Structure 1
Amino acid sequence: MDDVYTEKHQVVYYEVDVSGKLSIPMILNLAILGSTNQSAALGMGNERIHANNVGWVVLQYDMQIDRRPKVDEVINIKTQAVEYNPFFAVRKFWLEGLDGEPLVTINSIFAMIDMQARKMIRIPQVMMDTYQAKRVKHITRIPDPQDITTTTTEPQGTNYHVRFFDIDHNHHVNNAHYFAWMQDPLGADFLKKYETKRVNIKYENEIRYGSEVVSYYKILPSVGGEVITLHQIKVDGQVMTEAEMYWQENQA
């Protein structure tokens, strides 16, 4: 598949967490690095699209983690623009070992916005032609995360302040920061005991500089050794992001 972009990457010390493995936020950062480099190679880099006052925003990720690579490990980052309709685009990402071992698979849905009006616009046809994506009437949807309010227990909340350095070049909070806000309240004991195996995260609204964020979570009862956590991020009572995460007890 010539439309699959691949680049090698060596995991470095500042990309791992206390376990010595590539952190969840950095998994996303490397995935976006791959798509950014592919776009630049095709002449559709940020400089060009931002010159037209437009930019890509992610709406949802569904991430399956088979194994997180360790520090100093060399991996392949792969990505492909799969399909699109006038307003939404589906992109896949893979992290693989050099021997082809599947490490992480991510399905994602993106949209394009007017950078000033912060409103969704039609995706220019020339962009999708460049990526060789398949035009469809209805894109392949990702199921919504489980609603945190569907269980009877009350969610726990932790407050965070959005700093200047949390903002990226699209002028909103970098998507990877949401994972830190969601996972940090679970506490060190939980995060050391359990390994993330799947994440489904949906971005409802942009979070901007100076906002006061409340990160809510629930830990559901373990079933067959698997634990599910539900997450919701709010600003001034408005839901900004929702997620569900699947965990297994750490064996290493």
Structure 2
Amino acid sequence: MSPSAPDARFSFDHHVEINDVGPHGDARLSALLNWFQTTSSRHSASLGYPVSDLTKEGLTWIITRYHLCIDRSPRWRDALTVETWRAGNTGTFTPREFLLKDSRGETLVRASASYTLLDIRKRKAQAPSTRFPDYPVDPERAVPDDFSPLPLPEAFTNEKSVTIRRSDMDFNGHANNALYTEWCMEGVSDQLYEQFRPIEMEIAFKGEVFYGEDIVVQTWRETRESGPVTLHCLLSQSRKREVARARVHWKKRGEQRSANGETRG
């Protein structure tokens, strides 16, 4: 394994605000993704690669995958540090890693994401290593994942529709991808959501979503010894196309999972 380059890792401090948490006091999945994206943008800007410069060139970063492991849920008023780094390049995407730590330095959340550089006009991916050959990397992975395709079941156990609001739009003119995680949560039963919390989520973003669209959330649930597992498919009703799919592992509320996967009360 090659050593980490200077400035490969970057940290940024956050606080869990009241609008970041849900009714159980845990930080929402969308809050985690927003913290990750904010920190990665600040990292690039600190190295002289601000997103604003990419926009002038007709380029933008898009995130095609996330894999999150939540060892302990951040809570309201927690002081947090997000650490991020790029782990290298693989063709037209680069894995970016994240560690979310509490004020004592204990890791609460580990995540890996797949970032792709997109030519907005041509709608064509570019190799990040070509555009940023000197971007420092650290080969360590927070969550080892080759981002293989996520499965879909033969049938679904539940279906629900959500409508995209104006407030869901971001500066690119489509729904912020952090919200896709919340739509998946709409697909589970009240009983599951009240009794369990997500401890691991893999999500693949497959398409943009725009204001006024109705998204059908199809959900399948399986019960395993370790806890429930749900698969989700998000479909644009008007365009009849899949815009995301996800796999979520759940654990009873009140139980925490350590970094090595063990469960404790």
Unpaired runs of 5+ in structure 2?
Answer: 256-265
| Alignment check: 8 A CA contact 2:198 2:248 kept | yes
- Among 162, 186, 192, the residue aligned to 1:190: 192
Alignment-derived partner of residue 92 in structure 1: 97
Q: Residue 181 of structure 1 aligns to which amino acid in structure 2?
A: W
Q: Residue 241 of structure 1 aligns to which amino acid in structure 2?
A: A
**Secondary structure at 1:189's aligned position in 2?**
helix
Q: Where has structure 1 moved over 3 Å in runs of 4 or more?
A: 131-134
Report the Cα distance in structure 1 between the residues aligned to 2:156 and 2:248, rounded to whole angstroms: 18
Report the Cα distance in structure 2 between the residues aligned to 1:171 and 1:112, rounded to whole angstroms: 17
**Displacement of 1:145 after TM fit?**
2.2
**Displacement of 1:66 after TM fit?**
0.2
Q: Residue 197 of structure 1 aligns to which amino acid in structure 2?
A: I
Alignment-derived partner of residue 263 in structure 2: none
Cα-Cα RMSD? 2.0
Alignment-derived partner of residue 183 in structure 2: 181
Alignment-derived partner of residue 50 in structure 1: 55
Give me the identity figure in percent. Answer: 21
Report the Cα distance in structure 2 between the residues aligned to 1:144 and 1:60, rounded to whole angstroms: 10
Report the Cα distance in structure 2 between the residues aligned to 1:106 and 1:98, rounded to whole angstroms: 19
Alignment-derived partner of residue 224 in structure 2: 223
Q: TM-score, normalised by structure 2?
A: 0.85
| Alignment check: 8 A CA contact 1:148 1:155 kept | no
- Residue 40 to residue 241, structure 1, CA distance change in 2 (3 Å): same
**Secondary structure at 2:181's aligned position in 1?**
helix
- Among 249, 252, 260, the residue aligned to 1:249: 252
Q: Residue 204 of structure 2 aligns to which amino acid in structure 1?
A: K
Deviations 1:112-131 (A, max 9, x none): 11123333233363525234
Alignment-derived partner of residue 13 in structure 1: 18
Report the Cα distance in structure 1 between the residues aligned to 2:210 and 2:133, rounded to whole angstroms: 29
Q: Residue 250 of structure 2 aligns to which amino acid in structure 1?
A: W
Q: Residue 93 of structure 2 aligns to which amino acid in structure 1?
A: F
Alignment-derived partner of residue 157 in structure 1: 159
| Alignment check: 8 A CA contact 2:156 2:218 kept | no
Count of residues in Structure 1 that have an aligned counterpart in Structure 2: 244
Q: Residue 29 of structure 1 aligns to which amino acid in structure 2?
A: N
- Among 144, 148, 152, the residue aligned to 1:147: 152
Report the Cα distance in structure 2 between the residues aligned to 1:156 and 1:213, rounded to whole angstroms: 14
Q: TM-score, normalised by structure 1?
A: 0.89
Q: Residue 243 of structure 2 aligns to which amino acid in structure 1?
A: M
